[in-house]
Amino acid sequence: MIGRRKWGQIYFSAKNKSVPIFLALAVAAAGYLIPATLPAAEGDVLLREEFTSLEAWRPLIFPKIERHSTYAIATNADQSEFWLKAESDRSASGIVWKKQYDVFAYPKLRWRWRVENVFQKGDATKKSGDDYPLRVYVIFQYDPATASAGKRLKYGFAKAVYGEYPPDSGLNYIWESRDNPAEFVVSPYTDSMMMFLKERGAARVGEWVDEEADVLADYRKAFGKDPPRSASLAVMSDADNTGEKAAAAIDWIEVAR
């Protein structure tokens, strides 16, 4: 029986005991968890997504969340520039990159984003405030060969139910609505998701802001160990917990050495 909530917040029931399963992509659609692996690049940049189309991305709709956020390609008058436009209205859904990559070979993640507002009720430390005008996920693939016995049992049950393993864990780079001084916080729904506060509050609302993250360093700092080698990306704008609205944009995303 599928419970409620979104990535990092979705539950399945086993013998009347709710067990958190991080990023229940297997519930959303088959094939999201094992996308094709992107070949190694000759240079330092593996991926440079300019958002001229959404061909490389798939929609992700969450069970029991009826209102969906929207994602579309926007452009200027002469079509010389493109960006991803994301809007949420008491809603939640995301888009998932179709491929995977090796985070040890390409640990750097860079992007440029902009939000038009933050949430009055937003708060990364509370379930009721776990909404963000924009967030960028790094999703790590589960590897049974390196998992503990308990984790293999839990994930084996999930695979038996849904036909595929859920992702192992993830980093969530967020635009937090409050001026929270923390570098990162544990998701209020699951300790498999660590949330890094890249921007805080409304000081830079309406501006394009460049961001950079060292995925390997952040994972080690947050979880105290190395991540699984294979990872993918996702983007989300959500407002279902706060019941508010947001408009945001991403100009580009880059994965590099």
CB 174 within 8 Å of CB 198:
yes
Q: Summarize the confidence of residues 22-48 as an average pLDDT.
A: 60
Whether the pLDDT of residue 144 is over 50: the answer is yes
Which CATH number belongs to the domain containing residue 248 in this structure?
Answer: 2.60.120
Cβ neighbours, 10 Å, residue 124: 24
CA gap 47, 41 in Å, rounded: 8
The answer to which of 9-23, 78-92, 118-132 has the lowest mean pLDDT is 9-23
Residue 209, SS3 per DSSP: strand
| HEC readout, 101-117 | EECCCCCEEEEEEEECC
Is 6 domain-assigned?
Answer: no
User: Phi then psi for 158, rounded to 5 degrees?
Assistant: -60, -40
Is 139 domain-assigned?
Answer: yes
Whether the pLDDT of residue 4 is over 70: the answer is no
217 vs 8, higher pLDDT? 217
pLDDT tens, position by position, 179-234: 999 999 999 988 999 999 999 999 999 999 999 999 999 999 999 999 999 999 99
Is 41 domain-assigned?
Answer: yes
User: Residue 211 sits in which domain range?
Assistant: 11-256
Is 3 domain-assigned?
Answer: no
Query: Residue written as tokens 């086993």?
Result: 14
How many distinct structural domains can be found in the chain? 1
| Pairing mode, strands 92-97 and 230-238 | antiparallel
pLDDT at residue 48, rounded to an integer? 97
Backbone conformation region of residue 10, classed left if phi is above 0, alpha if psi is from -120 to 50, else beta = beta
> Can you give the pTM of this predicted structure?
0.85
Residue 156, SS3 per DSSP: helix
